[in-house]
Amino acid sequence: MFLNTLTPKFYVALTGTSSLISGLILIFEWWYFRKYGTSFIEQVSVSHLRPLLGGVDSSSPSNPNTSNGEADSNRQSVSECKVWRNPLNLFRGAEYNRYTWVTGREPLTYYDMNLSAQDHQTFFTCDSDHLRPADAIMQKAWRERNPQARISAAHEALELEDCATAYILLAEEEATTIMEAERLFKQALKAGEGCYRRSQQLQHHGTQYEAQHRRDTNVLVYIKRRLAMCSRKLGRTREAVKMMRDLMKEFPLLSMFNIHENLLESLLELQNYADVQAVLAKYDDISLPKSATICYTAALLKARAVSDKFSPEAASRRGLSTAEMNAVEAIHRAVEFNPHVPKYLLEMKSLILPPEHILKRGDSEAIAYAFFHLQHWKRVEGALNLLHCTWEGTFRMIPYPLEKGHLFYPYPICTETADRELLPTVFHEVSVYPKKELPFFILFTAGLCSFTAMLALLTHQFPELMGVPLCAPLWSQCLFCTQ
């Protein structure tokens, strides 16, 4: 009797409320998927409900006897997810902070700056810092989170003595122009060379002196590299190239700074392609870790030989020549290593300031490469046209799903998570590869919302017609009861 007395308005309100609730769930699911790359309902069900129902975590290894090939692949995947220092990182005071003053946006994330603080403590401090008052102050300064506190500590250290690391901090964070940063780095070089010569003479007197010499070496290499970058930014490119070559010759074993990538960019600016090829021949080796700079620079050099006369129509009629085939293969190799770069080079996606750390094969590395190398691709006539015509063909050669690669190891699945920590997602949409399909729950809530909204609309417009299927089961039940 209660159900029989319900009016069509009740059904309109019921279906409308259902549509509203499912719509709100759909909006939240879509926002969560865009921000974190996964479904909230799916994540909660897998993380919390599945263990309660007795499910087994699929990430745990089911077979302890893993083959050597799978183990090597896993180790390579872990190494490729390592975050690296950006060899072309900008100056925080003269470039990053100026961007913040103009736009009001923070170009660096907390995670990125925290990694830089850890790098500074690793490179610029040692256990014997407490023996020198200025170094003891700087050891605390590198751990400070507040920029003004770090700058004040650096000035305090300079009041005691000429401290190279104090000059480094002021050049990086307080200097508002590249010329001012260069002046401070020159003062740091004078102080750093003195410390380096003293520790070099005492390095064999014990582990403490050896650690001090290692720290002084890191400080000296960092200062010289940044001075070379200042020269490059101020237009003295030949001087920068000479400084980088001398630095690589003086400290050949310090490959952690990746100075060869700075050298490649400066040589490309000089259009000295023969020297670029010589550097690539040394560092594009199978035993060395690859980078987007190495792979895409090799592709640019091969594209340069054919790009000015390349025509897709002519190539489709007569086929590719040997030189064109080599250029296309080099582009495919580069795109397989980092598939995010072409959209930035072709200006299909807007660039932002590169972070201080990058993830190889990730969106952060693509931004860092394109930010400095887009001008070099534009300078080579037809290179971007050749890239535009051929880069998407790479994905036809890569096995799908990405269980194995074609020329490299399979694309790591951890890049999206790390890139979301390194890049400012507030105003930058992180590039994801491979493109994720929409989760089931987003499609389900979209269908439920559409269905209930249509049902509410039909019930409101045609209450008598929509009331027939609702009342029919009630009439049949009443007839059954009377019989």
> So what's the pLDDT on residue 368?
95
Within a domain: 114: yes
Within a domain: 137: yes
CA distances from 93 to 96, 98, 212, 383 (A): 6, 7, 28, 35
Within a domain: 199: yes
User: Tell me: the pLDDT tens digits for 147-158?
Assistant: 999 999 999 999
3-state helix, strand, coil in the chain (%, to 5): 70, 0, 30
Within a domain: 245: yes
Local structure of 283: helix, strand or coil: helix
Per-position b or e across 80-99, b if 16+ CB within 10 A of its CB: bbebbebbbbbbbbbbbbeb
Local structure of 83: helix, strand or coil: strand
Number of domains composing the chain = 1
Its pTM stands at 0.74
Nearest C-alpha neighbor of 92 from the set 169, 149, 189, 166: 169
Within a domain: 417: no
Within a domain: 162: yes
Within a domain: 160: yes
Burial of residue 235 (CB within 10 Å: 0-12, 13-18, 19+) is exposed
Residue with token string 């964070």 = 173
Q: Show the domain range for 210.
A: 109-270
Within a domain: 148: yes
> So what's the pLDDT on residue 185?
94
What residue ranges of the chain have pLDDT lower than 50? 55-80, 401-403, 474-475, 477, 479-481
CA distances from 466 to 9, 13, 476 (A): 11, 14, 17
> So what's the pLDDT on residue 62?
39
CATH number for 115? 1.25.40
> So what's the pLDDT on residue 211?
83
> So what's the pLDDT on residue 18?
73
Q: What's the rounded Cα separation, in Å, for the pair 411 and 463?
A: 56
